[in-house]
Structure 1
Amino acid sequence: MEQLNKARAALEPGNTVDNPILNKFGNAIVHQIGLKKVLELSTDPVKLPQALDPKSDLDDDGIADGQEYLDGTDPLNKYHGDAMKLFFINLGRSKYQLLLAAAAVFLLGYGLTHLLKGISAATEAKEAQ
């Protein structure tokens, strides 16, 4: 009950709350904009993403929490989001691994090609004798 009363008293932004009724995203909203602003925005929830910090990303998936709110995805689940946005974000995060994998495949193919050419040349030389 004490946590709930403390959360209800967090009218201004900057108060860290641990409301037993809200999840982590709800507590972050209260922390960022304050309960007073949350109550104001409850009549016009479309304005909520503009009120949130554009850098806030609770699930660390690369998509801002406000954008996930607009998209209707879960801002606490890094696997839940717009598929194309997540694809390009993860592609950017994994570009070095992908580059190394492509180089390894190319070099493996190059090495196998030369190995087979060498075996073929040795076989032809042996047959020519």
Structure 2
Amino acid sequence: MSGYLEHALQECDQAFAVLVADAENMALSKHALIVFGVAAITLDAARAETTKLSAAIESEVEQAVALAYAIRCCPAHDISEPVWDLRKAKYRRKYAVQGWSVDLADRDGSPFALEHVGGAAILRHLATYLRDQGVIKPPA
């Protein structure tokens, strides 16, 4: 799975590089969001190979795992129009992972926007951190 994760993250990086170059193109914007969604789902699948979701979210690793899962839930239910799906109250909170802060306290049910998580680079940040912590396997 980690090889797929690396590929998905590279695709996400490339899609957003194109999007930045042509920010007016709505089709590219939708494409980039779909690629981001696939990368988010892949990141969570790589996590699920080694680590279960915690009952409580306390440590920085637990925050990174929960944040990756919360992001994954947006496109998993509708990849073309992702919405924050934070049914469990434990996911509606502030997260802090290696200097990256995300506040999902009031996001449940609202349309997903990259600005909510600080931009597309959040996936690479989470993947690197989770790989460094041994939560996801490095690519073979």
TM-score (norm 2): 0.24
Bigger radius of gyration, 1 or 2? Answer: 1
Task: Return the structure number with greater strand share.
Answer: 2
Name the one with the larger helix percent: 1
Q: TM-score, normalised by structure 1?
A: 0.26
